[in-house]
Amino acid sequence: MSTTRTLVPTRQPTRVRGAGPASAGVAEAGCAWPSESSNPPNGESSTRWTLVDLDRYEVRRGDAIVGYVDVVGPVFVALVGMRYDRATEVAQTLTFLTAIAVVAAVADD
């Protein structure tokens, strides 16, 4: 069962420990680790992510896959491409939302 939600950054992320496979990263406003993004407000098309594996997020714009974010220890690896096996690494960051934003920005270019 997979639902997709929209990225709507409202607060600075806070560091969380012991919250599962992504525990070395950040969670939004101290809540549980985001396995999926929130629903788009007012039907806007925006960047959404879905947890597709233990340590991998799929990033979408509308209905199209634009990239992936891998969780590798405390690092989030941003990959751009429609297929994971052909995606290109574009950045490594210590914050989840930054990795999502990088994937979206590079995919827009």
Q: Does the structure show a pLDDT above 90 at 74?
A: yes
Please name the residues in contact with 91: beta carbons below 8 A apart, sequence gap of 6 or more.
77, 78, 98, 99, 102, 106
Where in the sequence is the domain holding 62, given as residue range(s)?
5-108
When divided into structural domains, the chain yields a total of: 1
The per-residue pLDDT for range 27-46, each reduced to its tens digit, is 443 334 566 765 454 444 58
Question: Which has more confidence, 2 or 75?
Answer: 75
CB of 95 closer than 8 Å to CB of 103: no
The predicted model scores a pTM of 0.65
Amino acid present at 47: T
Q: What tokens were used for 62?
A: 């509308």
CA pair distance 109, 105, nearest whole angstrom: 7
CB of 49 closer than 8 Å to CB of 55: no
For the chain, the distance separating the N- and C-terminal CA atoms, rounded to the nearest angstrom, is 32
Q: Which of 61, 59, 64, 63 is nearest to 90 (CA)?
A: 59
The predicted pLDDT at position 7 comes to 56
